[in-house]
Amino acid sequence: MEIFKQYNQLLNPFLEDFKITKSPQNLYLPIDYILELGGKRIRPFLTLMAAESFGANPKEALPAALSVEVFHNFTLMHDDIMDDAPLRRGKTTVHEKWDINTALLSGDAMLIRAYQLLENYPAQMFVKLNQLLSRTALEVCEGQQYDIDFETLNNVSQEDYIEMIRLKTAVLVGCALKMGAAVAQASELDCQLFYDFGIQLGLAFQLQDDYLDAFGNPETFGKQVGGDILENKKTILYHLALKNGNKLQQDRLNELLNSEDKIAANQKITEVKALFEITEARSATRDLISHYTKKADEKLGAISISCLLYISPSPRDLSTSRMPSSA
């Protein structure tokens, strides 16, 4: 989107000024490293977009936007440690490039720096933004813990899974939008509507990310199709297949995703996807994506301004990695 290119031009110089060059370098270099790995920067762009939608100069929202981006990348740094992931955005992860202790400490420093960025605002605005980020940060941790817990369970309901991704992914999208609206001095009602819009949009995009990982076009998806299957991740497709499948299908799916036996990658992906198809988990996931996209549109329509309608991103634009998520 052209507007995202414009926001990137605003954000890049501010990000450059954010760098810390003092010692100890091994504390600060990993922060610069992960922030320079790329990514779509959707969350900070949403902050700038929300502020501009209410008539503010997007430059006023730069500290809040970068705060959200730094916090997001802090979660990615720690998430990579928990997943023992060797790569992030095609490059070596921080804990692999340095070590686990350095990655933990640099991640902690990133979290602190995310809050320090909010000190650029007057006291009253700082308190409002700080409270929002604190609540969001704790909710993201709750979502991550649920995700860890769910990996060992075979009876997670659709409702529980949706709540997990709401906490782990969607609340930060809502936070990004609400911060931008708050900086622009939008009404409390509009700030909340923006937040609610972000929640529904975040749910839609995470469900779509789950879906595209199994059924997306590798040329447009941006990463290996079937990656979640090979990593035995229990996404919404898995939980819906268990819910809809018969005993034989349930047992085979669990065997494929829980077995320690080596199964050829292509065979595993093909067989699991076939189970997603035959149990109608694929179509049910598409229906859920449409449901939350529609709910996002409804929230957007209730906002007292209309200029967002032509720049509102779709869930496809927001496709990211898991914590977060994704993207």
Q: What is the mean pLDDT of residues 90-113?
A: 96
Residue 24 per-residue DSSP state: P
Q: Are residues 97 and 242 in the same domain?
A: no
Q: What percent of the chain is predicted at pLDDT more than 90?
A: 73
Q: What is the mean pLDDT of residues 152-181?
A: 95
| Residue 6 belongs to some domain of the structure | yes
| Residue 136 belongs to some domain of the structure | no
Which residue has better confidence, 217 or 278?
A: 278
Q: Are residues 175 and 311 in the same domain?
A: yes
> What is the reported pLDDT for 315?
52
| Residue 54 belongs to some domain of the structure | yes
Q: What percent of the chain is predicted at pLDDT more than 70?
A: 90
Containing structural domain, residue 201: 142-320
Q: Are residues 151 and 260 in the same domain?
A: yes
The DSSP element (H or E) to which 258 belongs, if any, is: helix 247-258
Which residue has better confidence, 284 or 314?
A: 284
Tokens 């926001």, located at residue = 7
Residue 310 per-residue DSSP state: G
Q: Residue 296 in 3-state DSSP?
A: helix
Q: Which of 86, 121, 156 is the last residue of a domain?
A: 121
| Residue 326 belongs to some domain of the structure | no
Task: Tell me the sheet residues that pair with 322.
Answer: 325
Pick from 166-175, 259-268, 305-314: least confident: 305-314
> What is the reported pLDDT for 221?
64
Q: What is the mean pLDDT of residues 105-115?
A: 97
Residue 84 CB neighbour total at 10 angstroms: 10
At a CB cut-off of 8 Å and minimum separation 6, what does 195 contact? 174, 175, 177, 178
- pLDDT over 50 (residue 217): yes
| pLDDT interval class at 324 (50, 70, 90) | very low
Q: Are residues 229 and 178 in the same domain?
A: yes
Count up the domains in the chain and report the number.
2
Name the token pair of 3: 């507007």
CB 314 within 8 Å of CB 134: no
Q: Are residues 213 and 291 in the same domain?
A: yes
Q: Are residues 148 and 237 in the same domain?
A: yes
Q: What is the mean pLDDT of residues 232-254?
A: 95
Q: Which of 206, 218, 184, 176 has the alpha carbon at shortest distance from 304?
A: 184
> What is the reported pLDDT for 134?
98
At a CB cut-off of 8 Å and minimum separation 6, what does 266 contact? none
> What is the reported pLDDT for 302?
85
- pLDDT over 80 (residue 313): no
| pLDDT interval class at 5 (50, 70, 90) | confident
pLDDT, one tens digit per residue, over 54-74 is 999 999 999 999 999 999 999
Q: Are residues 213 and 84 in the same domain?
A: no
- The domain that holds 243 is classified in CATH as 1.10.600.10
| Backbone φ/ψ region at 223: left (φ over 0), alpha (ψ -120 to 50), beta | beta
- pLDDT over 80 (residue 215): yes
Which residue has better confidence, 1 or 113?
A: 113
| Residue 133 belongs to some domain of the structure | no
Q: Which of 121, 150, 166 is the last residue of a domain?
A: 121
> What is the reported pLDDT for 155?
82
> What is the reported pLDDT for 39?
81
Which residue has better confidence, 307 or 197?
A: 197
Q: Are residues 311 and 179 in the same domain?
A: yes
pLDDT, one tens digit per residue, over 129-164 is 999 999 999 999 999 999 999 988 878 899 999 999
| Residue 260 belongs to some domain of the structure | yes
Tokens 């009404």, located at residue = 187
| Residue 137 belongs to some domain of the structure | no
Q: Which of 55, 88, 121 is the last residue of a domain?
A: 121
Q: For residue 87, report the phi and psi dihedrals to the nearest 5 degrees.
A: -130, 150
Q: Are residues 166 and 219 in the same domain?
A: yes
| pLDDT interval class at 260 (50, 70, 90) | low
Distance separating alpha carbons of residues 6 and 53, to the nearest angstrom: 15
> What is the reported pLDDT for 305?
55
> What is the reported pLDDT for 306?
42
Tokens 């829980």, located at residue = 258
Distance separating alpha carbons of residues 217 and 224, to the nearest angstrom: 9
Q: Residue 85 in 3-state DSSP?
A: coil
> What is the reported pLDDT for 303?
82
Q: Are residues 306 and 266 in the same domain?
A: yes
Q: What is the mean pLDDT of residues 279-302?
A: 95
Mean pLDDT over each residue of the chain, to the nearest integer: 90
Q: Are residues 91 and 150 in the same domain?
A: no
Q: Are residues 182 and 259 in the same domain?
A: yes
| Residue 149 belongs to some domain of the structure | yes
